[in-house]
Amino acid sequence: MKKAFTLTELLVVIILVGILASLAIPRIGGSVDKAMETEAKVALRQVQELQKIYYLEHKTYSTDLAAIDFSQEDTVADDPDDGTARYRIQIVSADSEGFRAEAVPVVKDLRTYIISAKGKSRIQP
């Protein structure tokens, strides 16, 4: 005679798996958000370093990302199939005194990050 699981046993296992999944998914989501925010911070630091080099050569900061050789990846909003960036990097203002660059999220309710020539970074909720 073959032994099989009863319907009650299968339902108990399915309920336990559901409870465990409901506990794990929010933690994974938070890790994904932190990874996206780290992406923004790294890109802004790169812009800052490229602006320093540009300033040494031209005695002013640039308002153009291409002029400082910063390559923005396609965002998921611009290209849903091939886009990978969750933030759009932009230089808001620049002159001989300094610059201000932002990383603006294109997905979810993530924070906007700002960096200046002096290395000060801020977060806008």
pLDDT in tens, 32-90: 778 888 888 999 999 999 999 999 999 999 999 999 999 888 877 777 777 778 899 99
Q: How many angstroms separate the CA atoms of 22 and 16, rounded?
A: 10
Tell me the one-letter amino acid at 110: L
Give the pLDDT score at 95.
94
3-state secondary structure of 24: helix
Q: Do the strands 112-116 and 87-94 form a parallel or antiparallel pair, or are they unpaired?
A: unpaired
Alpha-carbon distance 95 to 38, whole Å? 27
Tokens of 39: 């992406």
Q: What is the four-CA torsion angle of 118, 119, 122, 123, rounded to 10 degrees?
A: 150
- Model confidence at 29, in pLDDT bands (50, 70, 90)? low
pLDDT for the residue 1: 65
Q: Is the CB of residue 62 less than 8 Å from the CB of residue 51?
A: yes
pLDDT tens figures, 90-110? 999 999 999 999 999 988 778
- What pTM does this model have? 0.72
